[in-house]
Amino acid sequence: MAAQAHGVLERTGLTAEQTDQAAWTVVDDETRVGGPKAIALMLSTAWGTRVPMLPLSVPGVTGVLERVYEWIATNRGRFPGSTPWCVAHPGACSPE
């Protein structure tokens, strides 16, 4: 769910700045995981396999993934097909 949706920041304990910088996964024990690790964890959970987590165990790969993730996050507005959450779900967002 998008950080702009009602109550998400309060429920997750994340700040708006953190959610602007990266994707996050909050694990059942309330551990917060951000960036490429969050994406890998989310895919592992959705697919029911640890395969997306495997690259993170290879020495040096995590650093490369972090840099790639930062570049994508910085340039995400340039990628086609992304409709801002509040535009696509106006009833789910807090008024500004």
Tens of pLDDT along the chain (96 residues) come to 577 777 888 888 899 889 888 889 888 777 899 999 999 999 999 999 999 999 999 999 999 999 999 998 888 778 776 667 677 777 777 665
Give this prediction's pTM: 0.72
CB-count exposure of residue 40 (10 Å: 0-12, 13-18, 19+): buried
- Measure the CA–CA gap between 67 and 15, rounded to whole angstroms: 22
Q: Which residues contact 51 (CB under 8 A, 6 or more apart)?
A: 44
Q: Residue 67 in 3-state DSSP? A: helix
Q: Where are the domains of the chain?
A: 8-92
